[in-house]
């Protein structure tokens, strides 16, 4: 970090203004000192001139410092030289400042040395920085240490910076000392160092620039106690807060990020706003996301626009997405391109998504490739899907692999599908397991099915539970079936009535049924019918039948027939038979035979023979032959 600057040297004002002999405030606080003496400055200057003319050395020194602060170098120099000649330490330091500003660093260093030897912490700091600029690090360390040990905040900071550059463990002590004395950059850097320490020890680094991230730093890992990790994070937050309160815009950004993760959105927004107003583009972008999440897209767009115009690719992407949602595709495309120009690979990916939605497949492939070659894993997965849809399996596989190896869960699942389609079940299972371990619901279902096929019911149940818990209706149905197969027969009541209590398997059947799983709906209907709830059974059978379930239609027909509604039952059996249900066809054959419509009965009997299964086909064949004989008699 740069430790010298054009205005970094300290002024001293002499004992006339500061009887204790302490040096003036640091350069970063110079504006505060100027505000303090602004009122009545003309009167004060007149008083100092009169005292100086009367031979008061302290007044001469302070008058020179006043003119130097004002920028009147020509007016200040004779006063400072006169006071220096009389041995005034503050004047020697300030003369060095003046000469440094005039462009005479070596002569300035000479006067700083005089003042530093006389005990000026400010001069020792300035001399140390001069030595570092000249490449004399041992001398720089010596003088900066002299300044720091006298309690000088800028001296402590410059020493910490020098030691940190060399990898010296003592850097943190002096950075902390500077921060404790109010140095805002030291406070910020100390907070960042604590964040890094927390990250290295297994915590969460308080990074910025990802404003949509949620959740606070929690717990600990890597062998570190939870309380220790929390203490480090709390101290880091304290230093961020101190630096932010003193106007450090990056500290305000980091503090906002910490607060947002914790859920303190109102305070986070205030710090983002403070940082953004000071020109921090990442804070403007983060504030935009905070406003968007609160439903205020108009103001979000204002802050994103400000950040995007300053080259923030994340903000440009956000603007692109906002305009895309509004159907303003040309404006969206312009902002996505701006994000690309800012070096954000998400711009190319989002532009590809936009092109794909518009059916511009060739352009979508072009932008997916650009983002994928830059390492964007989701772009690599999307490119592979696009190639696979175009029949280029060989071209798709390496992109799926690249995305999966980079951590794309969807790509790992897609590789499983790819290998399963080739009959390479072992490879498919490996990728399904990888995706399932990362929380992919459908992958967990596929692993569960594979384990069931292998006879490993325990592992199958574990994966099916994960998938069912993740919302997979098929997994809920298969889990219910596994549990159903284990269920012992229902115990009989002492009066001969079956006692029915809802079991876990029924709950999973119902969950799958409510998600639209047709076989689960039929099964829930059967369970309702078994406990005598005809209305509930009919509701589920009808739901399944109307969704296209032939078993649902057949069972609904049975229920209606038992309730005396055979004509309506025939309607549902017809639907089931037309969908290939052999038992429904046999039922229709019997219905028409009883009605005396022998030809129609024979037709449905023929259909039942062809549909099966074997038991149904045998019975249907006997009925068909009997009807044929009756028709030919």
pLDDT for 375-401, tens place per residue?
Answer: 999 999 999 999 999 999 999 999 999
Place of tokens 């107003």: 277
Percent helix, strand and coil across the chain, each rounded to 5? 75, 0, 25
CB 118 within 8 A of CB 92: yes
Query: For helices 550-562 and 582-595, what crossing angle results, to 10°?
Result: 40
Place of tokens 């017809």: 574
Longest CA span, the chain: 150
Question: What pairs with residue 498 in β-bridges?
Answer: 492
Q: What are phi and psi of 345, to 5 degrees?
A: -65, -20
The pLDDT assigned to 500 comes to: 55
The pLDDT assigned to 201 comes to: 72
Q: What are phi and psi of 498, to 5 degrees?
A: -75, 130
CB 79 within 8 A of CB 92: no
Task: Give CA–CA dist 340/337, Å, rounded.
Answer: 5
The pLDDT assigned to 631 comes to: 77
CB 86 within 8 A of CB 92: no
Start-to-end C-alpha separation, the chain? 109
Task: Give CA–CA dist 229/605, Å, rounded.
Answer: 76
Query: CB under 8 Å to 120, separation ≥6 — which residues?
Result: 12, 23, 89, 90, 92, 93
Question: Could you tell me the two tokens for 186?
Answer: 């030291």
The pLDDT assigned to 210 comes to: 42
Question: Could you tell me the two tokens for 428?
Answer: 């498919």
Query: CB under 8 Å to 272, separation ≥6 — which residues?
Result: 252, 253, 256, 283, 284, 286, 287, 290
Q: Which residues of the chain are under the pLDDT cut of 50?
A: 1-37, 205-224, 492-499
Task: Give CA–CA dist 64/61, Å, rounded.
Answer: 5
Question: What pairs with residue 492 in β-bridges?
Answer: 498
Task: Give CA–CA dist 469/149, Å, rounded.
Answer: 62
Predicted structure pTM score: 0.71
Three-state DSSP at 12 gives coil
Q: Is the peptide bond before 516 cis (omega within 30 degrees of 0)?
A: no
CB 512 within 8 A of CB 525: no
Query: For helices 249-262 and 184-200, what crossing angle results, to 10°?
Result: 40
């Amino acid at each position: 970090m740069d430790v010298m600057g054009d205005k970094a040297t300290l002024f001293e004002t002499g004992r006339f203004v500061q009887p204790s002999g302490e040096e003036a405030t640091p350069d970063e606080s110079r504006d505060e000192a100027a505000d303090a003496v602004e009122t009545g400055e003309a009167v004060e200057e007149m008083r100092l001139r009169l005292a100086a003319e009367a031979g008061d050395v302290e007044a001469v020194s302070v008058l020179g410092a006043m003119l130097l602060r004002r920028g009147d170098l020509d007016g200040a120099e004779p006063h400072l030289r006169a006071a220096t000649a009389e041995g005034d330490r503050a004047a020697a330091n300030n003369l060095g400042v003046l000469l440094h500003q005039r462009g005479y660093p070596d002569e300035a260093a000479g006067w700083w040395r005089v003042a530093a030897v006389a005990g000026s912490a400010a001069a020792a700091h300035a001399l140390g920085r001069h030595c570092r600029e000249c490449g004399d690090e041992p001398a720089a360390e010596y003088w900066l240490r002299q300044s720091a040990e006298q309690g000088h905040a800028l001296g402590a900071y410059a020493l910490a910076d020098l030691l940190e550059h060399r990898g010296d463990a003592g850097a943190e002590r002096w950075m902390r000392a500077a921060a404790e004395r109010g140095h805002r950059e030291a406070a910020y850097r100390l907070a960042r160092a604590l964040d890094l320490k927390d990250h290295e020890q297994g915590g969460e680094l308080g990074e910025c620039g990802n404003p949509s991230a949620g959740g606070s730093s929690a717990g600990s890992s890597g062998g570190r106690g939870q309380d220790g990790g929390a203490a480090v994070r709390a101290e880091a937050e304290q230093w961020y807060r101190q630096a932010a309160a003193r106007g450090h815009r990056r500290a305000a950004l980091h503090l906002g990020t910490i607060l947002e993760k914790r859920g303190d959105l109102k305070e986070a927004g205030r710090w983002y706003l403070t940082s953004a107003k000071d020109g921090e583009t990442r804070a403007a972008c983060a504030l935009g996301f905070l406003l968007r999440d609160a439903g205020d897209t108009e103001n979000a767009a204002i802050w994103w626009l400000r950040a995007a115009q300053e080259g923030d690719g994340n903000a440009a992407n956000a603007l692109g997405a906002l305009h895309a949602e509004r159907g303003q595709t040309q404006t969206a495309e312009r902002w996505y391109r701006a994000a690309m120009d800012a070096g954000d690979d998400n711009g190319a990916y989002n532009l590809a998504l936009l092109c794909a939605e518009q059916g511009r497949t060739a352009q979508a492939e072009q932008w997916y490739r650009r983002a994928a070659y830059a390492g964007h894993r989701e772009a690599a997965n999307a490119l592979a899907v696009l190639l696979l849809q175009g029949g280029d399996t060989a071209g798709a596989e390496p992109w799926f692999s690249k995305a999966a190896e980079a951590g794309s869960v969807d790509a790992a699942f897609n590789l499983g599908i790819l290998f399963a389609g080739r009959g390479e079940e072992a490879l498919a299972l490996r990728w399904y397991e990888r995706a399932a371990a990362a929380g992919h619901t459908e992958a967990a279902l596929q692993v569960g099915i594979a384990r069931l096929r292998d006879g490993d019911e325990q592992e199958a149940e574990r994966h099916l539970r994960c998938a069912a818990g993740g919302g997979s209706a098929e997994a809920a149905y298969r889990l219910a079936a596994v549990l159903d197969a284990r269920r012992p027969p229902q115990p009989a009541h002492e009066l001969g009535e079956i006692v029915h209590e809802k079991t876990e398997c029924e709950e999973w059947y119902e969950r799958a049924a409510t998600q639209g799983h047709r076989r689960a709906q039929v099964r829930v209907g059967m369970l309702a019918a078994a406990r005598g709830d005809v209305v509930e059974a009919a509701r589920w059978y009808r739901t399944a039948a109307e969704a296209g379930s032939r078993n649902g239609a057949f069972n609904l027909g049975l229920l209606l027939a038992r309730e005396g509604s055979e004509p309506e039952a025939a309607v549902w059996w017809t639907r089931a038979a037309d969908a290939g249900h052999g038992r429904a066809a046999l039922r229709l054959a019997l219905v028409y035979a009883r009605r005396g419509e022998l030809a129609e009965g024979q037709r449905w009997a023929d259909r039942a023979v062809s549909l099966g299964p074997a038991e149904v086909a045998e019975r249907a064949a006997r009925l068909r032959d009997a009807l044929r004989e009756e028709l030919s008699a």
